[in-house]
């Protein structure tokens, strides 16, 4: 019994150390990274059809209710080309690695169309959830609609965002299914590179429970041409709890 307890304490301590090391690594990378493109990352729950810019790497830390997903997560999202990106999430409760990717079929605004998958967790034996999404993007208004196959059923995804300027965005989104939610939130670019996005989740279940969510993101540029006036487009991929 004592040996089992000691092993549990040691495993818990190792996980806390690993989490602290990852956070420190992100802080060091952010502190040493060059200035990047100005973007506003939002929506809060759903994937969107616009892709991460080629050569752009976004590092995020998100905290949320356990009813939404893993309560503490780190994420890296990398734009590979104009039509491809991938994302990796690191969850800590439970211990997990989650993968997603997106491919742009139509990438020239105002009309966008993308396919991909999210929430693939080989560690917890969770299958990838494929989706297809269309968007109509103007300078200020962003409309999004699509569908995702989650587990044994198909679910609708809807979203809208309004960009006031290069600093502020307000957004709402919805994913069908009693385990999912409607959300309302905003995104603020504190600097050209650092932003945060708090949101309120309203569960679709009969009680319509409320949950909190916030994500902090830093984006820096690894390769490719640098634009002086980058548009407010690409949101960070969200990852939901296993279904």
Are 10 and 53 contained in the same domain? no
Other beta carbons within 10 Å of 192? 15
**Residue-level pLDDT at 14:** 52
Are 143 and 214 contained in the same domain? yes
Are 150 and 187 contained in the same domain? yes
CATH of the domain at 82: 2.40.160.40
pLDDT in tens, 174-193: 999 999 999 999 999 999 88
Are 51 and 109 contained in the same domain? yes
Q: Tell me, rounded to whole angstroms, the distance of Cα 63 from its chain centroid.
A: 12
Q: Does 234 map to a domain? A: no
pTM: 0.78
Q: Does 58 map to a domain? A: yes
Are 79 and 105 contained in the same domain? yes
Are 80 and 169 contained in the same domain? yes
Are 28 and 42 contained in the same domain? no
Give how many domains the chain has, as a whole number: 2
Q: Does 40 map to a domain? A: yes
Are 165 and 97 contained in the same domain? yes
pLDDT in tens, 14-39: 544 444 444 444 333 333 333 333 33
Q: Does 87 map to a domain? A: yes
Q: Does 229 map to a domain? A: no
Range of the domain at 175: 36-221
**Residue-level pLDDT at 68:** 87
- Give the separation between CA 108 and CA 104, rounded to whole angstroms: 10
Q: Does 91 map to a domain? A: yes
pLDDT in tens, 132-178: 999 999 999 999 999 999 988 999 999 999 999 999 999 999 999 99
Are 18 and 97 contained in the same domain? no
Report the sign of the C-alpha dihedral through residues 199, 237, 156, 93, in that order: negative
Are 169 and 94 contained in the same domain? yes
**Residue-level pLDDT at 227:** 52
Are 136 and 26 contained in the same domain? no
Q: Does 7 map to a domain? A: yes
- Give the separation between CA 17 and CA 15, rounded to whole angstroms: 5
Q: Does 233 map to a domain? A: no
Are 28 and 40 contained in the same domain? no
């Amino acid at each position: 019994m004592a040996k089992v307890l000691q092993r549990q304490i040691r495993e818990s301590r190792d996980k806390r150390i690993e989490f602290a090391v990852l956070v420190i690594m992100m802080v060091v990378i952010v502190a040493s990274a060059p200035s990047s493109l100005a973007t506003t990352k939002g929506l809060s729950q759903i994937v969107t059809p616009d892709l991460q810019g080629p050569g752009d790497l976004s590092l995020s830390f998100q905290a949320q209710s356990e009813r939404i997903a893993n309560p503490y997560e780190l994420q890296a999202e990398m734009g590979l080309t104009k039509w491809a990106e991938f994302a990796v999430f690191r969850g800590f409760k439970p211990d997990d690695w989650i993968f997603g990717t997106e491919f742009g079929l139509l990438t020239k605004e105002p009309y966008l169309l993308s396919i991909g998958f999210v929430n693939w967790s080989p560690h917890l034996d969770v299958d990838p959830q494929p989706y297809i999404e269309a968007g109509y993007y103007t300078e200020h208004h962003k409309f999004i609609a699509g569908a995702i196959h989650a587990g044994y059923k198909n679910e609708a995804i809807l979203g809208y965002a309004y960009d006031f300027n290069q600093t502020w965005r307000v957004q709402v989104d919805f994913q069908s299914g009693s385990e999912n939610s409607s959300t309302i939130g905003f995104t603020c670019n504190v600097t050209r590179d650092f932003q945060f996005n708090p949101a309120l989740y309203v569960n679709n279940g009969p009680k319509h429970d409320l949950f909190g969510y916030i994500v902090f993101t830093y984006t820096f540029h690894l390769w490719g041409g640098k634009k002086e006036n980058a548009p407010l487009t690409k949101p960070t991929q969200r990852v939901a709890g296993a279904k």
